[in-house]
Amino acid sequence: MIKRTIQQMVEMMDGAFCTSLDQHIQIQGVSIDSRTVQLQNLFIPIKGDHFNGHQFVQKAIDLGAAATLWMEDEPSPPTEIPVIYVKDTLVAIQSLAREYRKQLKTKVIGITGSNGKTSTKDILASVLETQFKTQKTYGNLNNHLGVPLTILQLSSQTEMAVIEMGMSDLGEIELLSSIALPDVAIITNIGEAHLDQLKSRERIAQAKLEILSGLRHNGIFIYDGDEPLLQEAVRLQNLGDHAVTVGLQSSNSYYPSFISIEREGVSFALPAQRPVFHLPMLGKHQVLNALSAIAVCHYYGISNEQIQNGFLKAKITGGRNEIIKTPKYTVLNDSYKSNPSSLRVSLETLSTLHDYKKKIVVLGDMNGLGDDEVSLHEKAGAQLDPNKIDYVFTVGMLAEHIAKIAKKRFIEGRVSSYQSTQQEELIAQLREVAEANSIILIKGSRENKLDQLVDDLKDSRVSMREAVGVL
């Protein structure tokens, strides 16, 4: 974590000043949450439309904060600890993180994309940490506040940092890239997320390409070479050998010579190279995420054998194609996010899993799709194949459109709709239809709170290690 004196921190934030008490006090780390303040932290009160962190400064002081930021127009600053005055605490934490990043020798890998960025982060960090002191974005701290917090948590001894970057509109990735200053930038893919703001996949691609704005001199850019929306845009950047493509087509810099979908994960190989890679994560799409990780690792001199060792230690962030075993059935937990492209991938993954007696899907609303939200849900319903899926349950008002179309193809009684407030009824019906050795795909967005449904289903789970024997 950042360790600087108050005076040094003031110098790292444009326009900041501190007029009281000892400016030579050593700060160790920052916090924006008064409930988690540690001794010697700098407390940073964030002000939003419906909250004001300045109201919790006293609690931060009581827990051991050594100093606090304070917006100049806020009344009644504390007097018992040093106060650093700034115009805007959010801008200040971003400036502090940017300057701290410049002072670090750490190599930063920035990852964005409509889908797959968290899995790519997890895969890559697991490999890098076999050779380097590595840190990564925790959870989903990938926005205008999360990225600065991630950077300020980096140790001065950290050699590699894998930082996830999310966005909902133009300009946001550019800001994050200017803070993180990546040595390697990755775009996993271009999907339909955030159509409500950006209106088209073309503008989504434009927004994702903003990651190049902070890419350091001679850094490399790794991207989905099978995506036409990126191909021409990247060509105009004149990156030459610094652009590396991954994909399924043989025209890419990295592509698989074969893919084997297995119950425990996926296996694949690079053309004319050994070994065969085994990744204990489900779905063909994970091969593309792994290829990005391999490209980074080769850039930093990590061998294929070392990469394979890292793959086997991959630590998966919960809610993303997470396999949960219970004594009766298997849950495929993909409850963190849903959009048309990620739903297609989840259904494809489910279709590759054999030897299950029944396959059941629980689908929540896909949010952020703009004017086409109804038609995109209807298209999702048309993708559901009664020859591959036994039961369909939907949760939410938008997801009712999935059910409406699916009912036209499924036997009566095999498709049902629920609202988020009806989880008890849904869990009862799921337990009724889920025979021994069934698999249940849970796919939705956080707003549907399907993670609570997962918790209900996994009461009697066994560990992943016991379930697949490969982690």
If you ran DSSP here, which 8-state letter would residue 216 be given?
P
In whole angstroms, give the CA distance from residue 14 to residue 427: 53
Asked whether the beta carbons of 97 and 19 are under 8 A apart, the reply is no
Q: How many CB atoms lie within 10 A of CB 415?
A: 24
Residue 116 labelled as part of a binding site: yes
In whole angstroms, give the CA distance from residue 144 to residue 186: 18
Q: Which residues contact 375 (CB under 8 A, 6 or more apart)?
A: none
Residue 114 labelled as part of a binding site: yes
Q: How many residues would you count in the chain?
A: 471
Residue 113 labelled as part of a binding site: yes
Name the residue among 388, 339, 391 with its Cα closest to residue 366. 339
Q: Angle at CA 288, nearest 5°, toward 160 and 329?
A: 100
Q: Which two tokens stand for residue 270?
A: 């690079």
Name the residue among 152, 180, 155 with its Cα closest to residue 165. 180
Residue 117 labelled as part of a binding site: yes
* Helix (H) / strand (E) containing 402: helix 400-406
Task: Report how far apart, in Å, the C-alpha atoms of 295 and of each of 12, 152, 182, 265, 290 are.
Answer: 34, 27, 15, 20, 9
Q: For residue 105, with 0-12 CB atoms within 10 Å meaning exposed, 13-18 middle and 19 or more buried, which class applies?
A: exposed
Q: Which residues are annotated as a binding site?
A: 113-119
Q: Which residues are annotated as a binding site for ATP?
A: 113-119
